[in-house]
Amino acid sequence: MQMGTLVKIAAVARSESIAQAAATAGFVEIRRLEELLSTWIPTSELTRVNSLAGVAPVSVSPETMVVVQGAMRVAEMTEGGFNIAIGPAVDAWNVIEGQRIPTESELEALRPLVDLQAVHADARKQTIFLGKSGMRIDVGGIGKGYAADQAVMAMKKAGASAGVVALSGDIKTFGQLPGGKKFPVGIRHPREEGEILAFIDLEDEAISTAGDYERFFERDGVRYHHILDPKTLQPARSCQSVTVIAREGMWADGLDTGIFVMGVESGMRLVEALPDVEAIIVDHEGLVHVSSGLRDRIRTP
């Protein structure tokens, strides 16, 4: 278990020992990044940034800077659907363990803290400062994709010619399987347990899915899950799942969460406008929407 999920790595190389070493290098890299980015680890850089919110800027490593700046960029692209300042609201819901529904007034009190304008990431000084005390940033919606990218770099450096890194739903592939085959990936059906919505072959691409079906609880027939709409601070309601394919895992992961909040219409418009980005969106009614560049690439079971 790394980054709160099961990590799987497969490597292709000239020899078994090189493949083994490359896989190990991938795991080691993910562990290293977790020590920087996880807000569950008391000594991580982001924990320090959060605990000094409203007090002082914190020096961070280049990797932390890249993730936070990438997150700001995704926030712009998704018109605020993606927002790493969502931390206090995520904690209030604590969907994973708490299964409690925060009151409107509780959420109202947190609203001023969910403020990206008050996230000051200074690339020149390599510092991050959260302007208001009580603010918390949470890169849970983008960090796994970035970690997959970095793990792939480490694997290539260790001599792998191809491979795949999967942090549960965040998958990055590079190269081709022996025999010149691409990496086949299945996209889960958001409502039918064990069913596959579509298959797709990937080559030097990342795929990432955000869904309301993995971490949720139900109360009075309403599903409460872990992707929050930064406007309402309630679970986002417009989709059941969003799968994004991109060159880099960081963009695929950030965009899946942001588009989940945006909804199918503006989400698809964004995907069609971005080069090398494709998506499959299952809307709140269960209708499946496929971006134009994917229609000829997916296979249905």
Angular region, 149: left φ>0, alpha ψ -120 to 50, beta rest? alpha
By CB under 6 A, residue 140 contacts ligand ADP: yes
**Binding ligand ADP by CB under 6 A: which of 227, 239, 246, 259?**
227
Partner touching 278 among Mg ion, ligand ADP, none, CB below 5 to 8 Å by kind: none
**Binding Mg ion by CB under 5 A: which of 141, 143, 211, 263?**
141
* Binding piece for ligand ADP, criterion CB under 6 A, among 46-54, 84-92, 123-131, 151-159: 84-92
SS3 92: helix
**Binding ligand ADP by CB under 6 A: which of 148, 152, 171, 210?**
210
Contacts of 186 (CB under 8 A, 6+ apart): 196, 197, 198, 199
Burial class (CB in 10 A: 0-12, 13-18, 19+), 37: buried
By CB under 6 A, residue 278 contacts ligand ADP: no
By CB under 6 A, residue 253 contacts ligand ADP: yes
Tell me if 113 sits within 8 A of 134, measured CB to CB: yes
Min dist. Cβ of residue 13 to ligand ADP (A):
28
Task: Tell me which residues in 91-130 interact with ligand ADP (CB under 6 A).
Answer: none
Contacts of 293 (CB under 8 A, 6+ apart): 278
Buried b / exposed e over 208-237, threshold 16 CB at 10 Å, is bbbbbbeebeeeeeeebbbbbbbeebebbb
| Residue nearest to ligand ADP according to CB distances in the complex | 140
Task: Tell me which residues in 45-104 interact with Mg ion (CB under 5 A).
Answer: none
Burial class (CB in 10 A: 0-12, 13-18, 19+), 119: buried
By CB under 5 A, residue 253 contacts Mg ion: yes
CA angle 75, 43, 90 (to 5 degrees): 40
By CB under 6 A, residue 84 contacts ligand ADP: yes
Closer by beta carbon to Mg ion, 115 or else 214? 214
Binding-site residue total for ligand ADP (CB under 6 A)? 21
**Binding ligand ADP by CB under 6 A: which of 34, 248, 256, 278?**
256
Tell me if 211 sits within 8 A of 240, measured CB to CB: yes
By CB under 6 A, residue 65 contacts ligand ADP: no
Tell me if 78 sits within 8 A of 210, measured CB to CB: no
**Binding-residue pattern over the window 150 to 179 for ligand ADP, x denoting contact by CB under 6 A:** -------------------xx---------
Partner touching 228 among ligand ADP, Mg ion, none, CB below 5 to 8 Å by kind: ligand ADP
Tell me if 133 sits within 8 A of 53, measured CB to CB: yes
Per CB under 5 A, residues contacting Mg ion are 141, 210, 253, 256-257
Per CB under 6 A, residues contacting ligand ADP are 82-84, 86, 90, 138, 140-141, 144, 169-170, 210, 214, 226-228, 230, 253, 256-257, 261
